[in-house]
Chains A and B, each alone.
Chain A
Amino acid sequence: DGGITQSPKYLFRKEGQNVTLSCEQNLNHDAMYWYRQDPGQGLRLIYYSQIVNDFQKGDIAEGYSVSREKKESFPLTVTSAQKNPTAFYLCASSITGAPNQPQHFGDGTRLSIL
């Protein structure tokens, strides 16, 4: 089955700690995205990558970092600089070079502060 796998499903972070959220896709999509969703709100774009070894900041990149060393993988690190990290994090992918393509989402990771 093709799809996007996010792990872990739940994650707890201590003060001053960096944590990394995993996102893997086997859809052979070039583009991948990270969104943050707060309760009762829409999705805000953190980072996106349209090709391996390249990525761009989204609307709320401060306190986050990403890498795209492989086509299948787009991990997100929530750094200690992100003062309000508690949220639902969603990873998505789409076919790049085709701006009208839909985005496919993973099941998400819920991050909480201890």
Chain B
Amino acid sequence: GQQVMQIPQYQHVQEGEDFTTYCNSSTTLSNIQWYKQRPGGHPVFLIQLVKSGEVKKQKRLTFQFGEAKKNSSLHITATQTTDVGTYFCAPRGVTGGGNKLTFGTGTQLKVEL
């Protein structure tokens, strides 16, 4: 079955530094979604990647989908305190599973002033 690893588990950065989290799958993916969960809050959908090699940007956030569609990354440029939270990838395998998402374990980001 599909195994998903998200790294790192934790990341502390100084405000203004960059941050990257990676999501790696043992199998080829159909698509991948990314969510952000603020401390004490609920996950909020950020973006979905579908195409091989796809790159999407949202202001300081850059999302990439690998050429082989087995990995993805989220990069934040010049972090701010508002970026604090846990970032989850939610990949969907090519073998289906309907509307059922599998969430990665998440990367918890802390930003220090």
Contact = CB atoms under 8 A, between A and B. Distances in A.
Interface range, B side: 20 to 34
Residue from B50, B99, B102, B108 with most neighbouring chain A CB atoms (10 Å): B99
Interface stretch (A12-20, A39-47, A61-69, A76-84): A39-47
A3 B85 CA distance: 22
B42 A106 contact: yes
B69 interface: no
Nearest to B10: A40
B98 A41 contact: no
Given A41-B105, A50-B98, A103 B45 contact: yes
A42 B88 contact: yes
B78 to A, nearest CB: 26
Contact of A43 (B6, B48, B88): B88
A92 to B, nearest CB: 8
Interface residues of A, number: 26
Interface string B74-101: 0000000000000010001000001111
Contacts of A96: 99
Contact of A42 (B31, B33, B48, B104): B104
B88 A101 contact: no
Contacts of A94: 99
Interface in B26-76: 30-31, 33, 41-45, 48, 50
Interface in A48-82: 48, 50, 58
A107 B42 contact: yes
Given A58-B100, A94-B99, A96-B99, A102 B48 contact: yes
Contact of B100 (A40, A48, A90, A100): A48
Q: List 5 tightest A-B contacts by C-beta distance, closest first.
A: A102-B45, A105-B42, A43-B103, A42-B105, A42-B103
Given A45-B101, A99-B98, 7 more contacts: A42-B88, A42-B104, A58-B100, A98-B99, A99-B30, A103-B43, A104-B45
